[in-house]
Amino acid sequence: MATKFDIEKFNGRNFSLWKLKIKAILRKNGCLAAISERPADFTDNKKWNEMDENAIADLHLALADEVLSSIEEKKTAKEIWDHLAKLYEVKSLHNKIFLKRKLYTLRMSESTSVTEHLNTLNTLFSQLTSLSYKIESQERAELLLQSLHDSYDQLIINLTNNNLTSDLVFDDVAAAVLEEENRRKNKEDRQGNLQQAEALTVMRGRSTERGQSSSHNHGRSKSRSKKNLKCYNCGKKGHMKKDCWSLPKNSNPQGNMANTSDDGDALCCEAATAMEGRKRFADIWLIDSGATYHMTSRREWFYNYEPISGGSVYSCNNHALEIVGVGTIKLKMYDGTTKVVRDVRHVKGLKKNLLSYGLLDNNASKIETQKGIMKVFHGALVVMKGEKIAANLYMLKGETLLEAEASVASCSSDSTMLWHRKLGHMSEQGMKVLVEQKLLPGLTKVSLPLCEHCITSKQHRLKFNTSNSRGKAVLELVHSDVWQAPVTSLGGAKYFVSFIDDYSRRCWVYPIKRKADVFSTIKVFKARVELDSGNKIKCFRSDNGGEYTSDEFDDFYRKEGIKRQFTTVYTPQQNGVAERMNRTLLERTRAMLRAAGLEKALWAEAVKTVRLNREVRIRLKLRIDFLKFWINLLKFFDPGDQSRLNLKFIQIIPSFA
């Protein structure tokens, strides 16, 4: 009896991995050839048909329902295979560049195991191979070594010194890295009990006397009586520090004093071994749930500083550390962005830099911890990350910017990023053209940082082929399409209908509550644009949706003398202008809402804001006056120079007008 192999059904994700698995099944069942062109010398029709039917069955059984429905009309295994490859195996240059950038910038974090890191690398290798970009074993080994954490530097030196005269082999290097990880884990296990005991000793801040065995004491523990208590101010027994008569009368432990957690100090001791090979302990920031304030002893880190007097911080050994100042510090985050931390206390003698978990929680939308990573959210945006280095202790993934560095960092990218967001997350290429024409004041060159909102929001399939024909006058041809929203807008709209003038590419968007509202919206649109332009709509192109094919539509267009054009059923490419316009509008809408941390219910207002008429279009050769033909945009231009845009009048946050 043949062995049965089950693979996860393909649901539209990770096509390259699924393709590898299904090919193995087809090969084992002897029908792999059926997904390719039939060889000319293969004359046995019965055998080929049997092979093709077996391949079709294997493919059908390996597809999820939502994907299976799309290949229902395909008659051969090759047709099915080609259809899936066309839909899900995107072989665009953009996709190849994106994967190569991700591969060559990949870095292993401390919270990631070697096995997880190798899986990530192998997935990228497989995806690039499917795009006809082959990476040899030597280069794969080099990429693995360069992506390892700094703590593996000695291993890298050993491996490269042993292979001076021969090429590195990826499998051998991967095995060596896995072996090194196992060695470290075994070492940590051996030292675990000792470190835990030391950590608990420091965490409780108590002498070993209090932790003696209670085997000699039965019933209520004697440690609860006051005579066994030890004062951490004078060192004598019989009372606690808060009751100590040796404290100065004006010294109130509860007044004007910041706390640091005993747990935090203990865990810092526990993490000392784990911190070897990283940055110096005094250079990193720890996220401490017991800290009242953000605190550091590094005066040179402040770029906005005010000396103060009064206030103390008590460490785990009850040493009072004086607060001498307060100010602002800038941090460079894991993604290259700069974050400002205000009201940071300058504490002399503090041996670690603390970010107060409580203050972060008060100012953030939410804080999540999962798989050793802490994420601080502002809206939907992750603004800060922490990496777990010991139990309940997280190290900030970022570094402090000194005053000069902070100024340079904020000036170099903030203006570019601000223009990018105000222009509806315009592409870097489009911004470069505007800078060359001196349309963006304050920018002389454009080097757009990685915008995670654009990456997340603008993923799409290959674009449709564009037509060479083009309207020769305004309103000679108008394209239209309807898009259904995933959520209802604040105004109750569930759809929007878009209209695009083929000649000028001017776009209009109308949120609507029902598809039945399309007809009344078109009448309003027609009256408006014909009045604005002085021209009449001559031809109207749309798909075959029921909202465009009713009898009232036919009567209306017959009376107005407007020619109708419909696309072929299931061929949205023929309505490519409207399809591409809707895609662009939605990409920028998603990016804007993500960047602003707003709810999806604001999509209607956001769509209005990011319409393409707000850009100076490249294909219109930067004719700003052409935009003024349709709408008064004077408020968006520099009063002193009508050829340049004015930054302060263009809004980032979606307009509610």
Instruction: Provide the annotated active-site residues.
Output: 288
DSSP 370: E
- Burial group, residue 523, by CB count within 10 angstroms (0-12, 13-18, 19+): exposed
For 108, 130, 141, 372, the CA distances from 118, given in Å and listed in that order, are 10, 18, 11, 19
Q: Which helix (H) or strand (E) holds 119?
A: helix 114-130
Q: For the chain, how many residues are written?
A: 657
Hey, CA dihedral for 554, 555, 558, 559, is it positive or negative?
negative
Bridge partners (DSSP) listed for residue 145: none
Quick check: 594 and 457 in contact, CB under 8 A?
A: yes
Provide the token pair at 395: 């190290």
| Secondary structure of residue 403 in the 3-state scheme | helix
CA nearest to 463, candidates 574, 542, 576, 568 = 576
391 CB-near residues (< 8 Å, 6+ apart)? 267, 270
Cβ contact 72:60 at 8 Å: no
Closest CA to 264 of 343, 384, 352, 386: 352
**DSSP line for 235-256:** --BSS-GGG-TTS-TT--TTSS
CB 622 within 8 A of CB 574: no
- Number of CB atoms found within 10 A of residue 510's CB: 21
DSSP 441: T
Dihedral pair phi/psi, residue 37, rounded to 5°? -65, 140
Q: Which of 497, 465, 463, 500 has its CA nearest to residue 479?
A: 500
Run of H or E including 323: strand 320-333
Q: By C-alpha distance, which of 533, 493, 474, 270 is closest to 388?
A: 270
Q: Which two tokens stand for residue 127?
A: 């995806």
CA 108 – CA 98 distance, rounded (Å): 19
Calpha distance 561→364 (Å, rounded): 58
Tokens linked to 333: 């985050």
